[in-house]
Amino acid sequence: MKILQIKDWGMGLDSESPIIISGPCSAETEQQTLNSCRGAAEAGANILRAGIWKPRTSPGCFEGIGEEGLGWLLEAKTDTGLPVTCEVANATHVRLALAHKVDILWIGARTTVNPFAVQEIADALRGIDIPIMVKNPVNPDVKLWIGAIKRLQNVGLRRIAAIHRGFDTLAQKDIYRNPPNWNLVEEFRQKMPEISIINDPSHIAGKRDLLWNVARKALNLGMDGLMIESHIEPDNAWSDAKQQVNPTQLRDLLESLLAANLTSIDAEQKAAQELQSWRTEIDMLDKSLMELLALRKSLVTEIAKCKKNHNIAVVQLERWKSMVRKRLEESKSLGLDQKLISGIFEAIHEDSVQLQNAV
Ligand code: PEP
Ligand code: MN
């Protein structure tokens, strides 16, 4: 059965601009849910979200308000006239969400990893025509992501979208909460070209300052929408406080990402925000560079000890020559300037020789 793109879901989501899903990470109280959802709606969201059951990595964190929150979500839906969505992780969640008129369901990253859980949800949805979004699994496994979608397709669901929320990988973990691995989204898209992909910069970035970069990149790659967590009072949120934005910040973010005709003042603000975002990322990259240099230095110390114990000269000309050759070759394939790389490695080598002589 053919999967329908979001614009064909028959929910008024057929605009040209990207679909915006926003609302709090978790429904906490009635007022917080209502105010956060109203704020998101006023800031330009097309769909409202709130987590009702929260799958947490460690016990003892806020694990969601449960069924009671579904009533608040329904209030937000009535109040704003917008469709609402929440995460479901088992058949009971599905039954309760449907009973409270949740318009769209989503499967979270910690559930997509588990085919038993996904199949349980699929079985609970057999014969029911409701839209559902599937987050990528926590681990970088595109097959598992696609497998989850196929299980839903197999029970007759047609309105299915994917959410890219980043992966738990070691590389770039110091920058992102869940590194985006854009190549995996591309792989997904090649295998399922017909399916809409929503980017979730909040769970990828893990911090407000990085939302803009991630969202910008996703839109540049032609993704169909964004899921951005927003909260009436982000700093006091019971979950994911650091990554949530307030309604004003959400409006500014969306305006900066989507608006075409900005006044000069807006354009200036937009440029400042953009710059701030890139600088945050550069700062983190530089920090990783220095951490790598420190790691390298500790290896040099080991090498120095080994050379000393075995009476080997500090400078080994052949090794140095072949090292420079290899680095230059590698830098070429990375598109880096040869002069820059040879300069950097000369400085590194000089420092390393000094360090070894000291040992
Ligand atoms: C969420 O969207 O609040 C959430 C729990 O996300 P994920 O499943 O991507 O961790
Ligand atoms: Mn969250």
At residue 261, the pLDDT reads 59
At residue 142, the pLDDT reads 98
Closest ligand (CA of 244): 2
The CB of 51 under 6 Å from ligand 1? The reply is yes
- Distance, in Å, from the CA atom of 188 to the CA atom of 223, rounded to the nearest integer, reads 12
Q: Which atom of ligand 1 is nearest to the CA of 163?
A: 9
Strands (DSSP E) along 76-213, which ranges?
84-87, 104-107, 132-135, 160-164, 197-199
288 CA → ligand 2 middle, Å: 26
What's the first-to-final CA gap in the chain, in angstroms?
A: 69
Token representation of residue 41: 């709606």
If you search the block for the tokens 């970069």, which residue do you land on?
213
At residue 263, the pLDDT reads 67
Calculate the CA 105 to chain-centre distance.
Answer: 19
Which residue owns the Cα nearest ligand 1 atom 3? 25
Q: Which residue of 145, 200, 244 sits with most ligand 1 atoms within 8 Å of its CB, as the best mutation to test the pocket?
A: 200
Q: Look up the pTM and report it.
A: 0.83
26 CA → ligand 2 middle, Å: 7
2 CA → ligand 1 middle, Å: 27
Q: Which architecture, in CATH terms, is 281-358?
A: Up-down Bundle (1.20)
What angle do the packed helices 338-358 and 264-309 form, to 10 degrees? Answer: 40
- Distance, in Å, from the CA atom of 123 to the CA atom of 120, rounded to the nearest integer, reads 5
Q: Which residue of 112, 165, 229 sits with most ligand 1 atoms within 8 Å of its CB, as the best mutation to test the pocket?
A: 165
At residue 157, the pLDDT reads 98
Give me the DSSP letters along 249-299: HHHHHHHHHH-SS--HHHHHHHHHHHHHHHHHHHHHHHHHHHHHHHHHHHH
**Pair 178, 203: CB distance under 8 Å:** yes
At residue 278, the pLDDT reads 85
Calculate the CA 321 to chain-centre distance.
Answer: 42
Q: Which atom of ligand 1 is nearest to the CA of 51?
A: 3
Domain ranges for the chain:
6-258, 281-358
The CB of 203 under 6 Å from ligand 1? The reply is yes
Q: Which atom of ligand 1 is nearest to the CA of 203?
A: 9
The CB of 41 under 6 Å from ligand 1? The reply is no
The CB of 88 under 6 Å from ligand 1? The reply is no
At the topology level, CATH places domain 6-258 in TIM Barrel (3.20.20)
85 CA → ligand 2 middle, Å: 13
At residue 36, the pLDDT reads 98
- Distance, in Å, from the CA atom of 179 to the CA atom of 291, rounded to the nearest integer, reads 18
- Distance, in Å, from the CA atom of 98 to the CA atom of 82, rounded to the nearest integer, reads 16
At residue 260, the pLDDT reads 61
239 CA → ligand 2 middle, Å: 6
At residue 217, the pLDDT reads 93
Per residue of the chain (359 residues), give pLDDT as tens: 799 999 999 999 988 899 999 999 999 999 999 999 999 999 999 999 999 999 888 888 899 999 999 999 999 999 999 999 999 999 999 999 999 999 999 999 999 999 999 999 999 999 999 999 999 999 999 999 999 999 999 999 999 999 999 999 988 888 899 999 999 999 999 999 999 999 999 999 999 999 999 999 999 999 999 999 999 999 999 999 999 999 999 999 998 898 765 667 677 877 887 888 888 889 888 988 999 999 999 999 999 999 999 999 988 889 999 999 999 999 998 999 999 999 999 999 999 999 999 98
Same CATH fold assignment for domains 6-258 and 281-358: no
